[in-house]
Structures are given as structure tokens and as C-alpha cells.
Structure 1
Amino acid sequence: MIKRFLALGITLALVGVVLGGCIRQKQEEAQLVNAVPMGDKGTYSLFLYLCGSDLETKQGAAGKNLDEILKADLPENVQVVVQTGGAEKWRSHDIPSDCLNRYLVEDGRLTLLETLPQASMGDGGTLRDFLQYGVEHYPAEKMCVILWDHGSGSIDGVANDQNFDFDSLTLAEIELALEDVSQTMTDKFEFFGLDACLMANYETAHMLSPYARFMVASEEIEPSGGWDYDVLLAAMADQSSSGREIGKAICDGYYEKCREKGQEDTATLSVIDLESMDELQTAFDEMAGEMYQDSIEPMGIQAIARSAYNAQKFGGTSGGEGYSNLIDLGHFADNAGNLSTAQSVLEALDKAVVYQVTGAQKDRSQGLSFYYPSYPDEDQRKRYCEEVCPSEDYRRYLEQAYTDIPEDPIQFTDRGSIREDGSFQIQLASSSQNYILSVSYGLMEYEVEQKDGSTMLTATLLGEDNDMVGEKNLTIHSNFRGVWVTLNGCKLYATMVEDNEEYTIFTAPIVLNGKPTNLRFAFLWDQTTEEGGTYKILGAWNGIDPVTGMSDKGITELRPTDDIQTLTYRQTVEVTEDGDVFYSEEERCLQQVPGGEYTITEEPLEKQDYAYQMVVTDIFGGRHTSYLAKMHMIKTPQELEQNPVEEGQYAAEAESVMETTDTLLE
């Protein structure tokens, strides 16, 4: 199997300069000290902001959740008010797409309350108007809000309107809407739910805390089926149910719905007691202040960055999928043994997260994520600092980390040479120790030919892996075992997106039924097996839209009838007699995968030459490449299949080294 990551050392210099323009700090006047219920005891109103987006246009997903609501035995003490919009086409219930409609659910049907001119569901004013309408016309003792659609985390927000270039509600827009609505209320909302991906984050909970008692949301992407609304409404039949009990029912119903569809492995959903956010905010700010102070010294930076790098991640975490840069707050604090304030964060988080469900591949999740630039994106970081960041110390930390970056933080004392045992090695200078984030290698099949006096090297990229051997003197050498991951025998362009002691998650580009997407699969560590574990397919995920930042909702299960092609990339490098180097355009290479039950296996590589290049990623996201090694296979596929190489042995040896740092791995 592809072995676990070699962690040599990580540092992240994070100190800061305060910028204005972030989400406003909690205002005292928003806190309702003596709340007065706005309806009769035991009554509930649910305000469902249903932004259909392409989820409805393509899959009818919003309509299916409406079906659940209409089929439910609606308790007499519950009113459900729905606003529809945001989709180019509604596939059910005769909902128009050229206007906004408001409905009341009664007697198993949608009763039209009013029709409004077309407007963006991604505009804060649209949300404000709907909530003001609901509060005014359908008050209750416990009023609840759900935003339904795509979610993209704290920076890009939620509810992407397909009719308005996928315009979304930012946290700042939601806060302004709630601030205005709260002026007409004598009580908080009982719970604020986000039936959307990636919205159970510290920043969202911090923003909502003045306006609701509980938040229900997911740290990870959600399947397109969303929550179980029958279970949600049944929980409201108990007139004494608080947002906490209703949230627990939502979590349990959601997890069971995922389990029935075989999508539970990556499921997350949590209930946050927003009235506990003051304590968590204090603890978070204190931890951010300590991070800022520790980041003055490289060793302190290194410890902080390692905690972030090893924390549970959510959403996109690769170049092919995009980068969400969301990590679990609790897992980060668990890892941060160097921070004396981390324990206070864990204790406050434990109080705030009153219930959660997690799948097997998200079992490190503790209920709330937060933004951390593990994979730096300058525009994304600036937007976070200027528009979202709820902590001045954390903003200072981030700002300092990504200014005045050393020009060459990674220095090589050996950029590539051949060891006596035939493996390929590099050595890093001791000055690089505190700047190393990760070390990996890229593998390429290649062919060389001479043409008109030029050398033509054509390489097909197989991906990146981390199966290497590291030594104390910052020497790393290859551990080429001669196998690669395949889907039904077809090689995948695989890269790792998450790694821990229990499992490693990978992504690989494929074409599924004619549409490009990403295959996610996991290696589940099990030392009781001969192979050390087993592979499991998680499904296909489209990733993050590079223009809108919108996260695709849900992982698609592979079916035996699916048509799948693996996708790799090929490029030709021409080296002329004069030493000039020219690169061809990148070419996509498709291979048809045999149909049937789809499985991930490791298969022996063909006996040919391979190009091998190590990549050192620094804490700022820079990639530093070794020289290129020509690796010659000394084992045939048949030999590898019958007798896999043992530890300390290799299936290929470095034959020569090309002294170039040019790379085809970007």
C-alpha cells in the first residue's frame, strides 16, 4: 500500500498586524437578557430558506426534502414557512424559477402565501426580509431557522443563487440580516441550522451567538440528500423540546440517512450551544495570543504548524479539488501540546458542542472547525483577515506569518545523489529544519527519444506519495517498492489528502459517466492483515468551484453500471543541443476502466524506467524540488506479484541523476 506520510518537521511563522473590516465583535445590545417568548407555550415556527441552486436544477434535491416535510405528520403546534428561490429550474411542486415564493405547509401541501419579484437568495436583504416576514406573521415560543443549499465555509458562506452567478450569503451579510431582524424580536431564535456543507465552524458559531441559542451544522461536506426532515418535525411534537433536543434528533436522523445510503464514513453533524460561545471565544483569543507570542521563535512556529497540519481536515485539500483550509479546532488543540492555553480551548469546546455524530473517517472531529491556511492562498487569507476573522490576535498571527517570508527557506546540501544501496537521496541543511512542512515524491513514467538533434522526454505523471525513509541528519532516501494504486487495474493519478494512525485518504481525478470529478478512497490501517490494511472507495466528489468557491454537496457512490475513465497527465520536455528547454502543452490521458464492482488495489508497475523527484513543501506553501532521478526497475511485475519486496529492499534502483530542478509536478 501507499505508506504513511514522512513528517520531518513543520513551522508556520504567524504573527500579526490588525486590519479592520472583519465581522463585528458581539454587541452587548444584541444579547437579550430578559427574553420574552413571542408565541404561545409549546409552539414552534420553522423558517426554511430553500435556495435550490444547481442541486435542485440537476437533482431535484430541494424538492425531495420538501417531499419529506409534506409527507410528515406535522404536529399541530408547528408552523413551517418556506421561501423558495435560487434555482434555474424547480423539478417539483410547480415552483417557479423566475420569482421568489413563500409557502405555508398545511395538510400535506404547500399553500402559497405570496410571490415576490426575482431577487438573489445570496443577498443579505433577501434573507432579512424573509425572516422579518416569518417573525411578524408566524411568531412562536420557539422560532427556528434553516438555510438550505451549498455551503463553502466561513469565507465564501452559504446559499449560492444559480440565477445570480451563484452569489452567496457571506457571514457578514447573515449577521446584518439577523441584527436587523433581532430589533423586532423579544427573544432569540431557538436554533439556527445550516443544511449545507462545511458550515460548522468557529467563525459561523461566533457570528450567530447573539441571535440564537443553538446552531446545527456540519464540519464536512454533506450528501445531497441533506437532513431527515420527518425526524426533525417529529422532534417538535414534544412541546418541551429545546433546540438541543431537536438538534440531537436532526443529527441522529441525518446519520441514519447517510448510513442507509452507504455515505456515513465521512458524515459529521454537531449541535452547538451558542450561549457557551463567550467562554470559547475567550479561550480561543488566549490561545491565538499565545500562538502569536510563540511564533517569534522558529521552534514555536514549528510546533504550531505541525498541530494544524496533522489536524482533521474538511472539504477540499488538494490541487485538483481545491483548498477549503478548514481544520478541526479540537483536534488542533489536542495536537498543540506546546500551547498552555490549548486545554482551555478543549474544555470550552466540550461545553459548547453538546452533541455530534461522526463517521469512521472523521472520528477526530470535535464539532467545530476553523480556518487555517495549511495550503496558503493569498487572496483567501486576505479575505478572511479583512472580512471574517473574529479574533484580533489570530488575525495578527496570520498577517505576520505571510509577510516577510524568507526567500529560500529550504536549503539543500545534497539535491540528489545515488546511495550505495541504489536508492535516491537528498539532504537538507540544518537551517531548513524549522521550515519543512512535508516531503513527498512524484513518480512519472517516461520515454526518451532523439529528434533533430534534440532530446525529447515524454513523461506521464502517476501522482505523489510519501513512502520514503528519513534519517536524523535530514537525509531522505527513496523506498521504491514498485507498486501503485489502481482502480480495477488502471493506474490512478493519486495524491494524499489526509493521514493519521487509523486511515489515509487519497484523491484521484477520474471521468465518471462523461463528467470530470475526483475519486476519494481510503486506506484503513490494520496491522493484523498481511498487507497492513485495506482500501475502501468513499465515492466521487466534484470539489470546490474555482470561481465561486462553492463546495460541491455530497459524495457520489460508485455503481457497477457507471462508466469510468482514469485521468492522468502527460507532457513532453525538449532539450536542444544548445541546452534550451521547451515544455509542451499538458495532455490529458484517459484510460477506460473495466466495468463491474469497482475496487482499489495496488498492482506491480511495468518493468521500465521511471522518473523520480522529491518535493519539499515549506510552511508557506512553497515547493522545492530535488534533481530528477532515473529509476530502473530491477523486478518484473510477475516477480513483484509473487514476492513483494521486503523492508529495506527496492524494486527499482537509481541509475542516473539529471541535475535539473524543473518539475512536471505542479
Structure 2
Amino acid sequence: MDNGDPDGTTFTITDLSKINGLLTAFDATAKEMYESDSMTDIARAVYSADNFGGNNRNEGYTNMVDLLGLLNAVQPYAPSASDAIAKLKEAVIYSVNGDNHEGAGGLSLYYPLSVQGTEELSVFADICTSSYYLAYVDSAAYGTTGGDLSDYDNSGLIADCDDIWNYGYTADPNVGSNYSDVSYADDNSTIGIQSVYFDEDGTYTVQLSDMSAFNYATCTLFMTYDGTSVYLGEDDEVVTDYDAMILQDGFDGSWPSIAGQPLAIVAVSVGEDRSVYTAPITLNGEQTNLRIEYDFTSSEWRVCGTWSGIDPETGVASRDTQPLKDGDVIAPAYFVFSDEFNDYIYGDDITVSGELQIEYDALPDADYSYSMSLYDIYGNYYYTTSVTFTVDENGELFFYPDEL
């Protein structure tokens, strides 16, 4: 029986008698993480760890990160992570992973990739079993406000590890109270931008003045349509020169499309061999998300199926990716910004018959707005100065650099 896409599947059997040893070892690692002078490096490294449940702007955030991936990422800064890894492998006695999670260790934990408000932190504080990890997470969440972590003192959150296990333990009410703005708004970005310009080759270029909190960048597109701005999503065609602190676009005017209609994509995971993207669609009249995968080895796209995302009320992620069936009717969805309304509009219906084809197609002839989205290690994102470009009826692309 076909019950979803096996590439995203994980299955684990855990020896619960080994969990206490794992928690104790992890608490020692969390202490080293919290006390490290390299928090920005740690936060950046953790983004390389596998994660589960979407964790992108299209589908929402669960902030669940693979524990083994996190421990491997922080080990250069927290040497005791090697002991925690050994305890994790003792606790996980059997595991099976699909291709999209082939390095997963069997257990995951909460990590603030993108905190969805201080209430989320309060819930986490009530269930966290390591006071040092709680303090680390609180510091990372404070980073979302754009504040200076060197001046942030939350040492009052550190409690004796025995106390946090007591039946009558109550989480410190100060978690999240030292900062009210966990909005990930542009103004909170900690990335220093020196200038935005077109170089002598006509390439859109961003010169950074500080990359200490820089995580990654994407190119972001909006299409002008009947006086509105239609969001076409983000692609990772950005060339990063860390030595010169320069970002340059690799955009060539093509965009992932289905049946000639562009998809409003956002990356779910980016790897060396394959990357997974998500795009909003309707499926038989119901809003959902289409998961697609690009294989760098074969240079081909594959449709994985649909994923319902994260329940806005419970925060629970959909369990699996459902394959499309012959006879299903889908339509691309696009979020529109205008003076009159902000809502979704929909493309033409596509009836599924056999395997759907995803292609890099030239964008429709129209005017577009191009910018970069710069993400920092705390989950903030910042739109650089946008510039207009036009795609004509022949598929030729023309930028207007004088706008910068």
C-alpha cells in the first residue's frame, strides 16, 4: 500500500532505560554551549543539522532538530558532545531513515530556528529538562530582537539540575519576559549591509559590512499583476564570497514551473546532492503544499507529493507526504499584496495524469521586483533594496539598475 513519500520517513525504537544517561550527558553539553564565547558560531553550525516538520515561511515552524545533527554541529565548541552522542547511540537501538533524513540519529529536540512568539518559549520552559539548555535557548531567542548578546544576562535561569527534576519544579517566569519583540521583522536583522549595487558585469551585488550573524541568502521575486504584487517565493541562486563579504545573484530569469505556471517556492532543505522545496497549491479545492525535489546529480525535478503543513492551533506537523493520484486537480497558489487586500489567488487547474513534470521555465512577460532575503543565525530575515526587471515576450530579461 502506498501511504506517502518514503524519502521523508523515519522510524526509531528507543530503550527508555537509557534516557536518563542521555539527558545527563546532554545537560553537560548544554552547559558548554551556554558558557561558550562562540554562540554565533554554534547557532550557525546548528542550522546544518537535519530538522523535521517544515521549518520554512510557507509551511510554518515546528523547531524540531535532529539531536545527533545538533550534537555533531556543536562538538567543536562543546567537546562533551561526544559523550552525549555515545549515550544517544546507546538509547536508540533501532532506526530506519528515508533518503531525506539519512543521517538522522533517531531522536529530535526543540531548537529555536524561528521562535513563533514568547508563548512558545514559556511552553518550552515548562518541559525543558536542562536548565543550561533552557538558558541557551532563551539567549538565542533574545538574538531575534537584534539585541547585543554580549550585554544579555539570563544567568538567573540556571538552576541546580536536581531542582529541574523535582515534582514541584516551576519554570522561571522570566523566560521570554526580557524581550517583547520576537517578530523576525526586517528591523531586527543583525546583518550589516554596506551597499547594494550592480557591478561592472551588470550583476546585482550586496556588500556586507559584518557577516558574524549571517546564515544564508536567497533571491526573492514579486511579479506585478493588475496593480498588485504577487509573491513568487525564493530560490537559492545566490553566490556568497565570504572573504570579500559579497553576495551576488545567479538568477537567469527562469523559475521552477508546472504546466507553464511558476511555483511560489521556498526551500525546505538544501543538501549537497538534493534539495527539497515547498510551494502552496490547492488540491481538489483545498489549500495545501506541494513538495518537490531537485536532484543535483541528474539535474532533474521530482514531485514528492502534498504536505498539509503545521496545524495553526496545535502546532502539530502533518505526519507524511501524500502522493498525488491520477484525477487529482491542483492549481498553483500565490500570495498577493495590494492596497485593497492581502490574500491568495490561484493559477489554472491542472489535472494529474501520470507523473507531473517540473521544469525551469522562462518567467511570463511582465514586470518583476527582485531582491535578496538575508537570513541571520537567529531566524531573522531582511529584504535588501529591490530593483525592477522586465521579461519581454521573447523571454529576454532587463534590469533597471538606476533604481538603486
TM-score category by the smaller chain?
0.7 to 0.9
User: What does residue range 354-433 of structure 1 map to in structure 2 within 5 Å?
Assistant: 354-403=93-142, 405-406=146-147, 409-414=190-195, 416-430=196-210, 433=211
Q: Is 1:281 aligned to 2:42, yes or no?
A: no
Q: In 2 relative to 1, CA 540–496 (structure 1 residues): closer, same or farther, beyond 3 Å?
A: same
Q: Is 1:558 aligned to 2:324, yes or no?
A: yes
Counterpart of 2:369 (choices 606, 611, 618) is 611
Counterpart of 2:34 (choices 287, 292, 298) is 292
Q: Please state how far the C-alpha of 1:488 moved relative to its aligned partner.
A: 2.9
In structure 1, distance between residues paired with 2:102 and 2:251: 31
Query: What's the CA shift string for 1:343-375, capped at 9, x where partnerless?
Result: 222211111111011111111211001100111
Q: Secondary structure at the match of 1:402?
A: helix
Q: Please state how far the C-alpha of 1:276 moved relative to its aligned partner.
A: 1.4
Q: Is 1:323 aligned to 2:61, yes or no?
A: yes
Q: Is 1:623 aligned to 2:381, yes or no?
A: yes
Match of 1:522 in 2: 293
Partner amino acid, structure 1, of 2:224 = Y
In structure 2, distance between residues paired with 1:373 and 1:264: 27
Q: In 2 relative to 1, CA 429–370 (structure 1 residues): closer, same or farther, beyond 3 Å?
A: same
Query: What's the CA shift string for 1:4-54, capped at 9, x where partnerless?
Result: xxxxxxxxxxxxxxxxxxxxxxxxxxxxxxxxxxxxxxxxxxxxxxxxxxx
Q: Please state how far the C-alpha of 1:617 moved relative to its aligned partner.
A: 1.9
Query: What's the CA shift string for 1:306-337, capped at 9, x where partnerless?
Result: 22211111113122322100010111222334
Q: In 2 relative to 1, CA 537–398 (structure 1 residues): closer, same or farther, beyond 3 Å?
A: same
Q: In 2 relative to 1, CA 424–654 (structure 1 residues): closer, same or farther, beyond 3 Å?
A: farther
Q: Is 1:465 aligned to 2:270, yes or no?
A: no
Structure 1 spans left out of the alignment, 5+ residues: 1-256, 449-456, 573-582, 638-650, 660-666
Work out whether residues 418 and 656 of structure 1, in 8 Å CA contact, stay in contact via their aligned partners in 2: yes
Q: Please state how far the C-alpha of 1:657 moved relative to its aligned partner.
A: 5.1
Match of 1:246 in 2: none
Q: Please state how far the C-alpha of 1:618 moved relative to its aligned partner.
A: 2.3
Q: Please state how far the C-alpha of 1:476 moved relative to its aligned partner.
A: 0.8
Query: What's the CA shift string for 1:489-516, capped at 9, x where partnerless?
Result: 3211110011111221111110000100
Query: What's the CA shift string for 1:387-444, capped at 9, x where partnerless?
Result: 1111111011112233374266222110x212111111111113xx221122112112
In structure 2, distance between residues paired with 1:524 and 1:335: 25
Query: What's the CA shift string for 1:144-178, capped at 9, x where partnerless?
Result: xxxxxxxxxxxxxxxxxxxxxxxxxxxxxxxxxxx
Q: Please state how far the C-alpha of 1:262 moved relative to its aligned partner.
A: 5.4
After TM superposition, what 4+ stretches of structure 1 lie above 4 angstroms from structure 2? none
Higher CA-based Rg: 1
Partner amino acid, structure 2, of 1:655 = Y
Match of 1:242 in 2: none
Work out whether residues 112 and 141 of structure 2, in 8 Å CA contact, stay in contact via their aligned partners in 1: no
Q: Please state how far the C-alpha of 1:380 moved relative to its aligned partner.
A: 4.9
Counterpart of 1:434 (choices 212, 216, 219) is 212
Match of 1:488 in 2: 259
Structure 2 spans left out of the alignment, 5+ residues: 148-187
Q: Please state how far the C-alpha of 1:303 moved relative to its aligned partner.
A: 2.3
Q: In 2 relative to 1, CA 337–310 (structure 1 residues): closer, same or farther, beyond 3 Å?
A: same
In structure 1, distance between residues paired with 2:85 and 2:397: 47
In structure 2, distance between residues paired with 1:304 and 1:396: 14
CA-based RMSD of the aligned residues comes to 2.2
Q: Please state how far the C-alpha of 1:273 moved relative to its aligned partner.
A: 1.0
In structure 1, distance between residues paired with 2:310 and 2:402: 38
Counterpart of 2:342 (choices 586, 594, 608) is 586
Q: Percent identity?
A: 27
In structure 2, distance between residues paired with 1:617 and 1:514: 33
User: What does residue range 175-194 of structure 1 map to in structure 2 within 5 Å?
Assistant: none
Work out whether residues 231 and 264 of structure 2, in 8 Å CA contact, stay in contact via their aligned partners in 1: yes
In structure 2, distance between residues paired with 1:383 and 1:340: 29
Of residues 344-353 and 625-634 in structure 1, the stretch that sits farther from structure 2 once superposed is 625-634
Q: Please state how far the C-alpha of 1:291 moved relative to its aligned partner.
A: 0.4
In structure 1, distance between residues paired with 2:216 and 2:31: 26
Q: Please state how far the C-alpha of 1:384 moved relative to its aligned partner.
A: 3.8
Work out whether residues 480 and 652 of structure 1, in 8 Å CA contact, stay in contact via their aligned partners in 2: no
In structure 2, distance between residues paired with 1:425 and 1:613: 10
Work out whether residues 8 and 320 of structure 2, in 8 Å CA contact, stay in contact via their aligned partners in 1: no
Q: Please state how far the C-alpha of 1:556 moved relative to its aligned partner.
A: 1.9
Query: What's the CA shift string for 1:96-134, capped at 9, x where partnerless?
Result: xxxxxxxxxxxxxxxxxxxxxxxxxxxxxxxxxxxxxxx
Partner amino acid, structure 1, of 2:325 = R
In structure 2, distance between residues paired with 1:567 and 1:618: 28
Structure-2-length-normalised TM-score: 0.82
Partner amino acid, structure 1, of 2:193 = F
